[in-house]
Amino acid sequence: MKKMYGSELADDSDELAALLNTFWSEHHTFISRTGDCFKRPWIWNKQSNKDLDEGLSHIWHRKNSYGETKVFGKFACRVCSKIVGMGSAERNWGDVKHLKSAKRSHLGQEAVEKQATIFGASCMEYADMKREYAKNNSKEAYKFWDDDDFDEEFNMLVETTSKSIQSQRFIKCYIEEWESESIKKKNDLSKKKLLVKYGGLEFEDLDHRNRSLYRIDKDDMVFKTRVGWCVTAYLVGGTRDDFDVWAIDSGLHDCLATYYTKHPNKNVVPLIRKDQVETIADLATWEAPLDTEEVMIPKQSTSQKNQKNNATRNVPVPDYHAPTADGQKGMKQRNTVSISSKDSTTVPGEERCGNCGKVVQPVAHRCDMCNCAMHAICGPTIGEEGYGAKVRCPKCNV
Question: pTM, whole model, 2 decimals?
Answer: 0.51
- The answer, yes or no, to whether residue 314 has pLDDT greater than 80, is no
Long-range contacts of 31-37 (CB under 8 A, 24+ apart): 36/68, 37/64, 37/65, 37/68, 37/69
Where exactly are the structural domains of the chain?
A: 2-80, 87-160, 169-285, 302-391
Q: Which amino acid is at 386?
A: G
Cis peptide before 362 (omega within 30 of 0): yes
Q: In angstroms, rounded to a whole number, what is the distance separating the alpha carbons of residues 72 and 226?
A: 44
In Å, how far from its chain's centre is CA 48? 49
- The residues near 11 (Cβ < 8 Å, ≥ 6 apart) are 172, 174, 176, 273
pLDDT of residue 275: 86
Contact between residue 375 and residue 391 where contact means Cβ atoms under 8 Å apart: yes
pLDDT tens profile 206-236? 776 667 889 999 899 999 988 899 999 998 8
pLDDT of residue 287: 62
Q: In angstroms, rounded to a whole number, what is the distance separating the alpha carbons of residues 205 and 221?
A: 19
pLDDT of residue 304: 43
Q: How far is CA 33 from CA 30, 74, 105, 210, 396, in A?
A: 5, 18, 54, 63, 61
Mean pLDDT of 91-103: 85
Contact between residue 214 and residue 236 where contact means Cβ atoms under 8 Å apart: yes
255 compared with 161, residue with greater pLDDT: 255
pLDDT tens profile 43-96? 888 777 788 778 788 889 998 898 889 999 999 998 888 776 777 788 888 888
pLDDT tens profile 178-196? 898 899 999 888 999 999 9
Q: In angstroms, rounded to a whole number, what is the distance separating the alpha carbons of residues 255 and 208?
A: 12
Please give the radius of gyration of the chain, using alpha carbons only, rounded to the nearest integer.
30
In Å, how far from its chain's centre is CA 211? 22
Cβ neighbours, 10 Å, residue 211:
19
381 compared with 318, residue with greater pLDDT: 381
